[in-house]
Amino acid sequence: MLLHPDRLFPAEPGTRAIARALYTSVAQLPIISPHGHTDPAWFAINQPFTNPTELLIKPDHYVFRMLYSQGIGLQQLGIRNPDADPEQVWQLFARHFYLFRGTPSSLWLNYVFEKVFDIDQPLNAQTAAHYYKVINDKLAQPAFLPRALFERFNIEVLTTTESPLDDLRHHQAINDSGWHGRVLTAYRPDDVLDPDQPDFTNNLARLAELTGEDTSSWHGYLNALRNRRAYFKSMGATSTDHGHATANTADLSRAECETLFAGALAGTLNTSEADLFRAQMLTEMAGMSVEDGLVMQLHPGCHRNHNGPLFERFGRDKGADIPVRTEYVKALHPLLNKYGNDPRLSLIVFTLDETNYSRELAPLAGHYPALKLGPAWWFHDSPEGMRRYREQVTETAGFYNTVGFNDDTRAFLSIPARHDLARRMDCAVLAQWVADHRLTEQDAFELAHDLSYTLAKNAYKL
Amino acid sequence: MLLHPDRLFPAEPGTRAIARALYTSVAQLPIISPHGHTDPAWFAINQPFTNPTELLIKPDHYVFRMLYSQGIGLQQLGIRNPDADPEQVWQLFARHFYLFRGTPSSLWLNYVFEKVFDIDQPLNAQTAAHYYKVINDKLAQPAFLPRALFERFNIEVLTTTESPLDDLRHHQAINDSGWHGRVLTAYRPDDVLDPDQPDFTNNLARLAELTGEDTSSWHGYLNALRNRRAYFKSMGATSTDHGHATANTADLSRAECETLFAGALAGTLNTSEADLFRAQMLTEMAGMSVEDGLVMQLHPGCHRNHNGPLFERFGRDKGADIPVRTEYVKALHPLLNKYGNDPRLSLIVFTLDETNYSRELAPLAGHYPALKLGPAWWFHDSPEGMRRYREQVTETAGFYNTVGFNDDTRAFLSIPARHDLARRMDCAVLAQWVADHRLTEQDAFELAHDLSYTLAKNAYKL
Amino acid sequence: MLLHPDRLFPAEPGTRAIARALYTSVAQLPIISPHGHTDPAWFAINQPFTNPTELLIKPDHYVFRMLYSQGIGLQQLGIRNPDADPEQVWQLFARHFYLFRGTPSSLWLNYVFEKVFDIDQPLNAQTAAHYYKVINDKLAQPAFLPRALFERFNIEVLTTTESPLDDLRHHQAINDSGWHGRVLTAYRPDDVLDPDQPDFTNNLARLAELTGEDTSSWHGYLNALRNRRAYFKSMGATSTDHGHATANTADLSRAECETLFAGALAGTLNTSEADLFRAQMLTEMAGMSVEDGLVMQLHPGCHRNHNGPLFERFGRDKGADIPVRTEYVKALHPLLNKYGNDPRLSLIVFTLDETNYSRELAPLAGHYPALKLGPAWWFHDSPEGMRRYREQVTETAGFYNTVGFNDDTRAFLSIPARHDLARRMDCAVLAQWVADHRLTEQDAFELAHDLSYTLAKNAYKL
C-alpha cells in the first residue's frame, strides 16, 4: 500500500478523528478545476496516452527539475532527445525516486500509481520494469483514454488556458462531439499584451486578422482584445489569466496610452516603459471584465527562464522559473482605485512570495469587494504551503475572500491527486481549529464543503 | 455556550493540561492596557452606550472591513448615514456573521456576547433580534455604564492616545471626579511632527498658543513639544506613540534641521525631505525621552487610506489601511547609534511586516539595551499571529526584550476578550515548550505571569 | 537533571515514539563539523582552558549580546577589561541566566553543564559558585584538554576558517604531532577580496610575499589567490567560505575586471564599484572551484557592527551584527549562468533572511546542479529556526539538495550540544511526517542518518 487512508491528517487522535470525518464528507465531491494547463486536444481527439514516460515525466516540470538538480541531464530524460528510450528514462526516474521524499510530487505520484494504475509497491530500481509494463498496458485500454479518465476522476469542469490567438478548435471539437465532459478555455493574452514578447508585432498582426480590427491603433487594439474575449466567452470561458513579471498596474490618460502603444508597436519601449504598458493593460483588462463579467486572474512574480544556457538548449518551462520578491500594495493601487469597489469586477490574485499573505494580500482581500485570493500556488501547492496559506490568510481575510483550490497543472493524471491533497490539508487545518475550539464542528463541515467545491464554483462563475 | 473553556489550548491532552494550568494561574490577573484608542470621554462622562450597533459595529474596523469586502456598503452599515436603522444594521451584521469564521473578531465578539452580555446562542439571522434586545436592554442598566464595565473588567490601568493639541479635559475630569479608575493618556504628536498632514501649519500655530513658545523657530518648536510632553506627563502619561509610514530615523546637524523645519513650515518640502524631517523628529523624540523618561513607541509600515474613492466619501479609519514592506536595520541606525546604548531610553517598536520578526527586530532587540519589541500588532493580533511572534522572536530576543500585550483597540468591550486571547495563546505556546522540555514548568509559570502582567507594567513604567 | 531525554520531540505520544526511535538510531554517529570558527591553536598546543568565564562566556556572542540587551555592560562581562574577576562575571551571568529561557543558548549551555561537566542543578545565583568551582576544577584535568574533549565528543572532522594570509602553522602542528584528530582549515579570502577592508592593500602586499605573485596586476592577483587555494588544499582544506554583505555576483569582461582591480588597489572605488568588484570575485572563486574542486560557501546578508559606539570601544563580533533583507535570484544569476550547470562546482548558500527559503533558495537549489542549501544559520540555528527551514525548503528542494548541519561556532564545548539539537529537531520533523504518512518509517530512518552524517560528509567532500 502506497497511500495511508489517514495521510496528512494531524497525529493527535482526537484531531485526526475530526479531520477524517470532515474529509469523508467532501472526498467524493466532483472536481472543479478552474485553472490549469492540460491540453484540450486530449479530450477532443481522445487517443491513448503514449507511454508512462511521456505521460508522467515529460510534462511534469516538478519531476525533471528535481532530477536535473541532482545532475541528471534533461537529454537523459528524453527532453528534446527523440533517441532516448522511454523505458530507460523510466528506470532512471525510478532509481532516483527517493529524491522526492518529503515533496508533494511523491504524494501526487503515489496517488496516481495506486489509485489510477492500481499498483501497491513502492517505485524503485527493482520495481521500475513492473511499473512500466503495468502502466503501459493500461494506457492501451479504453478505460484509460482521456475522456474515460476525465469521467472516472469525477471532474465537473476543467479549464484550460489559451492565447487569444488560438482558434479554440479543440474546444469546438469537444463541443461538437456530443461528449458531455465540460472542458472550458480561459483567455490568457500575455502574448498580445507584453511588448517584450519576441513575436509581439506578429501576434498583433495575427490578432488583426482574427478580428478584423486595426491593431495598429490603440482603439483598434482594445477592440480586438474585446472581440476575442467575446469569442472566448461564447465558447464557454468564464475567466482571463495574466502572467506578469510584477503586479504593477497603471491608470494612464488616453494620450499616454496611445504613445506607449505606438512605442510597443515600434519596439522602442525601454524596460520601464514596457513595464508601464503591461501595467496599463492590466487595468484595461479589469475594465473589460467589468463590461463582460470574465473573472480576472493575476499570476505575477516569477523570473522566467533563469538558467540561460538551459533555455538556449531546451527552451522554456524547463524548471528554471524562480519566484522573486513581489509587491502588491502600491502595484495594485491604480487598478483598485479605479475598479476595486465595483461589484462587477472579480480579480483573483496569486503570489509566489508568501511574505505577502499576511502583510499585503489578506489585508487587501479583506477590504476590497473586487479582490479575492487565489490558493497557494505552484511551489507552494504542497502540504506545508497550504498550511501556511490558511494560517496566514484566514485571520484577516476569512475563508470567503478565497476561491478554493486550483490544480494549475499540465499533468492530467495528477488532478485527482492534487485535489485530494488540498481537501485533506483543508480538513487537517479545520480539524485543528475545531479541536482547539476556534471553530464549531458544524461550521467546519460547511467550510470543508465550501473550500472543496462551492468557493471555486462561485468564484469562477462555473 | 459560545466559548469552550479550553479554547485555543493545544489538542494533545498532556500539553492541554499544562496550558490549562498555566492559564488558570493568570486568568484573573488585572488588565494592564498600556496602548489603545478608547475614548476618555466615556469614563469622564459615564453615560450609557447608545445601542449594540453604535457600540459593537461602528467603532470596529475589523468588523466593517470584512463586511465591506463581501459587498456590503458602509452606508448600509450606518457609517456616515444617520438614516440607517441600527437594528437593521445589526440584522445585516448577524446574517453575515459566518464571514468571521476563523478570524479573531469572531473569538472576541463571542467573548463579549457570552461574558459581558450573558448570551449563549450563536449569532445569526434567527437570533439577531434577540441579541439586539438583550444587549440594548443591558446597556441601559447601571452595571453597563463605562466605569462599571471598567471595574468589572478588572482593568488596573487603561491608556488612551491623544495629540499634543488635546487639552486632556476628559482625563482632567476623570482625575477630578474622585473615581479611582486609572485612565492615562499617551503623547501622540504625529499631527505636529508630520509636515504632510494637511493642518500642519495650523497645528503648529495651535501648539504655540498652548505653550507660549514660538513654533516658527526650530528651537521654539522643540521647546513647545517638550512643554506638551511635560504637561502630558503631569497628567499621568508614561509614554509617547509615533505612527509613521516608515521606521526611518535621522541624526542631522542643527543647521540641517533648521533648514528642513523652515521648509516644513513653508510647505515646500518634497517627499523625501518630508520623510527626512519625520525621521529627524523621531530622533528628537528619543532625545526628549532620554530627558523626561517617557517610553517611546513606534508604529510604522502602513499605507493609510489605500482606497481613494472610499476615503473621499467616508474618511479615514475605514478598513483601507494596508501594511507594506518595512525596513528597520538601516532605518533605526541613526537613532540607535545616538541613543540605543542609553539606559534612560526605552523604545518599543512594532511591525506589520512579520518578516522582520526573526530577521531584523529580534536581533536588534536582543542587542540594544534601549530597544524592546511590541507585541503582534493589528492584523497580527490573532492566535496564529501571536504564535508566529513567539516562535520567531523568542529564540533570539528571549521573552524579556518584549513588553507583554497591547490591545490597541477603540472597541472598549473587546478589551477583556483580547487580553484573554493573548493570555491563552501565550500559555498555549509555553505549554508546548514545557511539553517538549524546552522550558521547565516552574519557568513557564513565572513566564506566564510576566507575559500577562509584569512585562507590560514594567515596560510602560506603570 | 537539566536535560530531559525526550527534549524537543513532539508531545503527541505516537509521534514522540517515532522521533525517539529515529533519534536513537543517529545519536551516537560521529560529528561532522564542516564549518566553524574554533581556534586550531587549541588542538595544536593542547593546553587547558583557562576558566569557565573565558571558556563559556567570552567567546559566545549569543550569550553576551543577550546580557548586553538587558543593560549589562560588556566591560562588566570582562570584555576588554582585564581587571574583571572571572568568578564575578560568572556570578553576573548566573543571576541573569533566566534571560535565556526559550533560547537555544539555554539548551546548549544546559547540555554542556550536564553532559560535559556532569552538573545537574539549574544555574542561578545560588548555584553559581558551585558551578564555577566544578567547571574550574575539571578544566585542569587531562580529560578536559582540547584533544581529549575532541575525542570524547566523537568528532570525526572539525573545520576551522582561516584567511589566505594565515600560514596555517597550527594545522601544520596538528598534522606533525601524530595526533589522529582531523582538524581542517577552510579558505576564507574576504580580507583579500573586499576592497573596503581597511587593510586591503597591505593584505595584497602580504599575499604577494606569500606566493611570489605580482598582486598589483589582475592576472597576478588571481594567480596568488589560486596559489593559496592550492596551499590550503594541500593542508587538507576541502572548502572555501565567503562572507559578503550581499549575494551579488557578476560576470565582467577581463578589461572591466582590470579596471575595477586597479581602482581597488588605488582605493578609488565608490560603493557600487566596490560591490561590483566583490560580486566579480565570487564568480572568480566559483571558477577556481571548478578547477580545484574546493566546495564554495556563501554567507551573505548581515549588517556588520551596527552599533557604532560599541564597535569603537569593543571592536567587532560583539553581538551587533544584524541580518538584512537579501536577494538571491538576480544576485546569483551571473555566477549560476556561468557555472551553475557545471557538475564540478558545488556552491552552498546560506541565508539570514528566511523569506528566501521558500521563495528563492529552495526553487534555485531544486533546479541548479551546482547549488545546494546550507542549514539554518546563526540566529536561525535553533529549534523553531530548523523547523521553519525543513518546512519551507523540503517540499521544493527535497532533502538531497541540502547539506546536513553546520555548528558554525567558536564555542568549542557547544559543538556536541548543537549537533544533538539538530539531530533531535530533524528527527522531530521526520517523525511528524511519518506520523501523518507523508514519509514511510523506513525512508525516515535513512533520512535521519543522511541528515545527521552522510549529507555533510558528501557535500563537503570529507
Question: Do both C201 and C223 map to the same domain?
Answer: yes
Please provide the average confidence, as pLDDT, over all residues in chain C: 97
Burial B112-127 (b: 16+ CB within 10 A, else e): bbbbbbebeebbeeeb
In-domain check, residue A315: yes
Helix axis angle, A128-139 to A86-95, nearest 10°: 130
In-domain check, residue C205: yes
- Structural contact between residues B1 and B123, judged by C-beta atoms closer than 8 angstroms: no
Question: Do both C172 and C247 map to the same domain?
Answer: yes
- Structural contact between residues A400 and A346, judged by C-beta atoms closer than 8 angstroms: no
Question: Do both A161 and A133 map to the same domain?
Answer: no
In-domain check, residue C8: no
- Structural contact between residues A193 and A278, judged by C-beta atoms closer than 8 angstroms: yes
In-domain check, residue B5: no
Instruction: Please give the helix or strand (H or E) that residue C162 lies within, else none.
Output: none
- Structural contact between residues C349 and C242, judged by C-beta atoms closer than 8 angstroms: no
For residue B12 the three cell numbers come to 494533545
Residues of chain C with C-beta less than 8 angstroms from the C-beta of B395: 102-104, 379, 382-385
Cβ <8 Å between C435 and A11: yes
Nearest CB neighbour to C68, from listed B358, B367, B436: B367
Q: Which chains touch A (3 or more CB pairs under 8 A)?
A: B, C
Cβ <8 Å between A366 and B69: yes
Across the range A280-304, mean pLDDT stands at: 98
Count the helices and strands in chain B (H runs, E runs): 22, 9
Distance, in Å, from the CA atom of A322 to the CA atom of A207, rounded to the nearest integer, reads 31
**Burial class for C91, CB neighbours closer than 10 Å (0-12, 13-18, 19+):** middle
For residue A324, is pLDDT > 90? yes
Burial A344-370 (b: 16+ CB within 10 A, else e): ebbbbbbbbbbbbbbbbbbbbbbbbbb
Question: Do both C171 and C240 map to the same domain?
Answer: yes
- Structural contact between residues B18 and B441, judged by C-beta atoms closer than 8 angstroms: yes
| DSSP code at position A402 | B
Distance, in Å, from the CA atom of C404 to the CA atom of B246, rounded to the nearest integer, reads 39
Question: Do both A81 and A32 map to the same domain?
Answer: no
Q: What is the reported pLDDT for C143? A: 98
C33-66 pLDDT, tens digit each: 999 999 999 999 999 999 999 999 988 999 999 9
Q: CA quadruple A325, A329, A333, A336: dihedral positive or negative?
A: positive
Distance, in Å, from the CA atom of A262 to the CA atom of A264, rounded to the nearest integer, reads 5
- Distance, in angstroms, between B355 CA and closest chain A CA? 7
- Structural contact between residues B237 and B171, judged by C-beta atoms closer than 8 angstroms: no
Distance, in Å, from the CA atom of A297 to the CA atom of A351, rounded to the nearest integer, reads 11
Residues facing residue A333 across a β-bridge? none
- The amino acid occupying position C195 is P
Question: Do both B226 and B313 map to the same domain?
Answer: yes
- Structural contact between residues B160 and B408, judged by C-beta atoms closer than 8 angstroms: no
- Residue-level length of chain C: 462
Distance, in Å, from the CA atom of B187 to the CA atom of B239, rounded to the nearest integer, reads 6
- Distance, in angstroms, between A379 CA and closest chain C CA? 6
| % of residues, chain A, pLDDT over 70 | 100
Cβ <8 Å between A9 and C436: yes
Cβ <8 Å between A12 and B12: yes
- The amino acid occupying position C75 is Q
A88-98 pLDDT, tens digit each: 999 999 999 99
Name the band, by pLDDT with cuts 50, 70 and 90, for residue C1.
confident
**Burial class for B179, CB neighbours closer than 10 Å (0-12, 13-18, 19+):** middle
Q: What is the reported pLDDT for A1? A: 87
Nearest CB neighbour to C11, from listed B358, B398, B435: B435
- Distance, in angstroms, between A202 CA and closest chain C CA? 30
Question: Do both C320 and C264 map to the same domain?
Answer: yes
- Structural contact between residues C219 and C284, judged by C-beta atoms closer than 8 angstroms: no
Nearest CB neighbour to C400, from listed A4, A99, A308: A99
A355-383 pLDDT, tens digit each: 999 999 999 999 999 999 999 999 999 99
- Distance, in angstroms, between B454 CA and closest chain C CA? 15
Name the band, by pLDDT with cuts 50, 70 and 90, for residue C317.
very high
* CATH code for the domain in which residue C350 is found: 3.20.20.140
- Distance, in angstroms, between C319 CA and closest chain B CA? 6
Distance, in Å, from the CA atom of C419 to the CA atom of C375, rounded to the nearest integer, reads 12
For residue C198, is pLDDT > 90? no
Distance, in Å, from the CA atom of A109 to the CA atom of A95, rounded to the nearest integer, reads 15
Which of B66, B95, B101, B354 should be substituted to probe chain A, the one whose Cβ sees the most A Cβ atoms within 10 Å? B101
Nearest CB neighbour to C443, from listed A101, A306, A310: A101
Residues of chain A with C-beta less than 8 angstroms from the C-beta of C359: 323-325, 352-355
Distance, in Å, from the CA atom of A402 to the CA atom of A415, rounded to the nearest integer, reads 20
Cβ <8 Å between B443 and C65: no
Which of C344, C358, C371, C440 should be substituted to probe chain A, the one whose Cβ sees the most A Cβ atoms within 10 Å? C358
Distance of CA B420 to the CA centre of its chain: 16
Cβ <8 Å between B329 and C306: yes
For chain B, the domain total comes to 2
Q: What is the reported pLDDT for B1? A: 87
Q: CA quadruple C270, C274, C279, C284: dihedral positive or negative?
A: positive
Cβ <8 Å between A337 and B308: yes
Residue among B68, B119, B110, B120 at smallest CA distance from B92: B68
Q: What is the reported pLDDT for C226? A: 98
In-domain check, residue A3: no
Is the ipTM value over 0.85, yes or no?
A: yes
Nearest CB neighbour to A8, from listed C362, C438, C446: C438
Residue-level pLDDT, tens digit, chain B, 462 residues: 899 999 999 999 999 999 999 999 999 999 999 999 999 999 999 999 999 999 999 889 999 999 999 999 999 999 999 999 999 999 999 999 999 999 999 999 999 999 999 999 999 999 999 999 999 999 999 999 999 999 999 999 999 999 999 999 999 999 999 999 999 999 999 999 999 998 999 999 999 999 999 999 999 999 999 999 999 999 999 999 999 999 999 999 999 999 999 999 999 999 999 999 999 999 999 999 999 999 999 999 999 999 999 999 999 999 999 999 999 999 999 999 999 999 999 999 999 999 999 999 999 999 999 999 999 999 999 999 999 999 999 999 999 999 999 999 999 999 999 999 999 999 999 999 999 999 999 999 999 999 999 999 999 999
CA nearest B431 in C: which residue? C11
* CATH code for the domain in which residue A133 is found: 1.10.2020.10
Which of C367, C373, C401, C403 should be substituted to probe chain A, the one whose Cβ sees the most A Cβ atoms within 10 Å? C367
In-domain check, residue B8: no
Cβ <8 Å between C379 and B399: no
Residues of chain B with C-beta less than 8 angstroms from the C-beta of A399: 101-102
Which of A62, A114, A384 should be substituted to probe chain C, the one whose Cβ sees the most C Cβ atoms within 10 Å? A384
Nearest CB neighbour to A102, from listed C329, C341, C394: C394
Nearest CB neighbour to B9, from listed A340, A362, A436: A436
Cβ <8 Å between B379 and A364: no
For residue C367, is pLDDT > 90? yes
- Structural contact between residues B405 and B455, judged by C-beta atoms closer than 8 angstroms: no
According to DSSP, the β-strands at B31-33 and B155-159 are parallel
Quote the domain boundaries for residue C314. 13-49+145-459
Name the band, by pLDDT with cuts 50, 70 and 90, for residue A151.
very high
In-domain check, residue A231: yes
Distance, in Å, from the CA atom of C373 to the CA atom of C370, rounded to the nearest integer, reads 10
Given B144, B166, B197, which residue is the final one in a domain? B144
Question: Do both C131 and C155 map to the same domain?
Answer: no
Residues of chain B with C-beta less than 8 angstroms from the C-beta of C359: none
C256-272 pLDDT, tens digit each: 999 999 999 999 999 99
Cβ <8 Å between A394 and B102: yes
Name the band, by pLDDT with cuts 50, 70 and 90, for residue A173.
very high
Residues of chain B with C-beta less than 8 angstroms from the C-beta of A435: 11
Cβ <8 Å between A379 and C362: yes
Residues of chain B with C-beta less than 8 angstroms from the C-beta of C323: 329, 359-360, 363
Distance, in Å, from the CA atom of C383 to the CA atom of C388, rounded to the nearest integer, reads 9
Nearest CB neighbour to A365, from listed B4, B69, B355: B69
Count of CB contacts below 8 A, A vs C? 128
Nearest CB neighbour to B11, from listed A330, A435, A447: A435
Contacts of B46 (CB under 8 A, 6+ apart): B145, B146, B147
Q: Which chains touch C (3 or more CB pairs under 8 A)?
A: A, B
Angle at C59 (CA atoms; ends C58, C65), nearest 5 degrees: 70
Cβ atoms < 10 Å from Cβ of B373: 23
- What is the SS3 string spanning C76-113? HHCCCCCCCCHHHHHHHHHHCHHHHCCCHHHHHHHHHH
For residue A66 the three cell numbers come to 528535481
Across the range C131-148, mean pLDDT stands at: 98
Question: Do both C135 and C206 map to the same domain?
Answer: no
- Residue-level length of chain B: 462
Question: Do both C283 and C385 map to the same domain?
Answer: yes
For residue A391 the three cell numbers come to 494560517
Cβ <8 Å between B307 and A369: no
Contacts of B330 (CB under 8 A, 6+ apart): C303, C324
Cβ <8 Å between C6 and B359: no
Given B144, B168, B189, which residue is the final one in a domain? B144
Question: Do both B175 and B245 map to the same domain?
Answer: yes
Burial C420-454 (b: 16+ CB within 10 A, else e): bbbbbbbbbbbbbbbbbbbbeeebbbbbbebbbbe
- Distance, in angstroms, between B428 CA and closest chain C CA? 13
Distance of CA C166 to the CA centre of its chain: 19
In-domain check, residue B248: yes
Cβ <8 Å between B68 and A367: yes
Helix axis angle, B383-397 to B415-435, nearest 10°: 50
Cβ atoms < 10 Å from Cβ of A342: 17
Name the band, by pLDDT with cuts 50, 70 and 90, for residue C372.
very high
Q: What is the reported pLDDT for B275? A: 97
A385-441 pLDDT, tens digit each: 999 999 999 999 999 999 999 999 999 999 999 999 999 999 999 999 999 999 999
A187-219 pLDDT, tens digit each: 999 999 999 998 999 999 999 999 999 999 999
- Write the Ramachandran bin of C439: left for phi over 0, alpha for psi from -120 to 50, otherwise beta: beta
Q: What is the reported pLDDT for A153? A: 98
SS3 call for C189:
coil
Question: Do both A250 and A376 map to the same domain?
Answer: yes
Distance of CA A310 to the CA centre of its chain: 24
Distances (CA, A) of A197 to A308, A342, C337: 16, 32, 22
Residues of chain B with C-beta less than 8 angstroms from the C-beta of A458: none
Estimate the share of chain A in helix, then strand, then coil, as percent rounded to the nearest 5: 55, 5, 40
SS3 call for A307:
coil
| % of residues, chain C, pLDDT over 90 | 99
For residue A331 the three cell numbers come to 502595484
- Structural contact between residues B8 and B425, judged by C-beta atoms closer than 8 angstroms: yes
Cβ <8 Å between C355 and B359: yes
For residue A58 the three cell numbers come to 515529460
Residue among A287, A402, A425, A387 at smallest CA distance from A34: A402
- Distance, in angstroms, between A134 CA and closest chain B CA? 43
Nearest CB neighbour to B395, from listed C10, C323, C382: C382
Given A144, A160, A192, which residue is the final one in a domain? A144
For residue A421 the three cell numbers come to 491533497
Across the range A239-251, mean pLDDT stands at: 98
Contacts of B176 (CB under 8 A, 6+ apart): none
DSSP string, C372-398: EEPPS-GGG-SHHHHHHHHHHHHHHH-
Cβ <8 Å between A385 and C395: yes
